């Protein structure tokens, strides 16, 4: 099944593509870590197999955006318990607030998804009692386009260009592990002890 490094790299690409397009895929919600050792679960929105980039959506006011501005290094952990497969990925992140990629991502998002960016305070802001952070007028309702206009300024795309992959397959007859590094757009790899 995973006889060659090329087979594994192709399988990783297929799994990332499926995770981005299939909300039921186990790898659809990976753990993303910034260089300040802060981690969070995020929804994988797109995988570009040509550029080897992962796209996530975020609030530009969130602490992770400041962390990425200070140090672009990120780690992404994806795991599929049924397949018994773990992918640890590393790369360089950038937070985009303008441009075609951002506008297309915003337009493709549902009203409910865009509503999240109407939060009055930044993600992580301290509050006196439990809250969604949303204005009362949009709590529990599908807002119209006019209501969503102010949300756009808080929306950003987090784009991660992958530079390293660590693949682990758990098997009863012996685990298998491979590692890949990307340089000048080309992947090189080798086997590793699990």
120: closest CA among 63, 59, 43? 59
pLDDT tens digits along 129-171: 999 999 999 998 999 999 999 999 999 999 999 999 999 999 9
pLDDT tens digits along 28-83: 999 999 999 999 999 999 999 999 999 999 999 999 999 999 999 999 999 999 99
The count of domains in the chain is 1
What's the rounded mean pLDDT across residues 84-90? Answer: 98
Distance CA 138, CA 130 (A): 16
pLDDT: which is higher, 141 or 19:
19
Distance CA 51, CA 94 (A): 14
Q: Inform me whether the pLDDT recorded for 103 exceeds 90.
A: yes
The 3-state DSSP class for residue 8 equals helix
Q: Angle at CA 62, nearest 5°, toward 89 and 117?
A: 110
CA distances to 22, 124, 133, 156, 182 from 99, in Å = 26, 27, 27, 10, 26
pLDDT tens digits along 172-194: 999 999 999 999 999 999 999 99
* Residue 1: predicted pLDDT: 67
Domain with 76, as residue range(s), is 5-192
* Residue 2: predicted pLDDT: 81
74: closest CA among 42, 114, 45, 108? 42
Q: What six digits make up the tokens of 78?
A: 């994806």
- C-beta separation of 151 from 115 below 8 A: yes
105: closest CA among 24, 48, 49? 48
Residue 155 maps to which CATH number?
2.30.110.10
The 3-state DSSP class for residue 17 equals helix
Distance CA 59, CA 14 (A): 28
């Amino acid at each position: 099944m995973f006889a060659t490094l090329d087979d594994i790299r192709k399988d990783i690409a297929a799994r990332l593509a499926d995770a981005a397009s299939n909300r039921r895929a186990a790898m659809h919600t990976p753990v993303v870590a910034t260089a300040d050792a802060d981690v969070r679960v995020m929804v994988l929105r797109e995988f570009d197999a040509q550029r080897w980039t992962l796209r996530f959506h975020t609030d530009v006011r969130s602490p992770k955006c400041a962390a990425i501005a200070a140090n672009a290094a990120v780690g992404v952990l994806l795991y599929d318990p049924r397949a018994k497969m773990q992918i640890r990925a590393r790369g360089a992140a950038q937070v985009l607030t303008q441009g075609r990629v951002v506008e297309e991502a915003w337009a493709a998002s549902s009203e409910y998804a865009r509503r999240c960016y109407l939060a009055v305070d930044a993600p992580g802001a301290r509050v006196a009692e439990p809250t969604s952070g949303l204005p009362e007028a949009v709590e529990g309702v599908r807002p119209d386009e006019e209501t969503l206009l102010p949300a756009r300024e808080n929306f950003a795309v987090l784009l991660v260009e992958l530079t390293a992959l660590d693949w682990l397959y758990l098997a009863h007859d012996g685990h298998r592990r491979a590692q890949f590094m990307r340089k000048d757009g080309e992947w090189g790899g080798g086997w590793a002890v699990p």
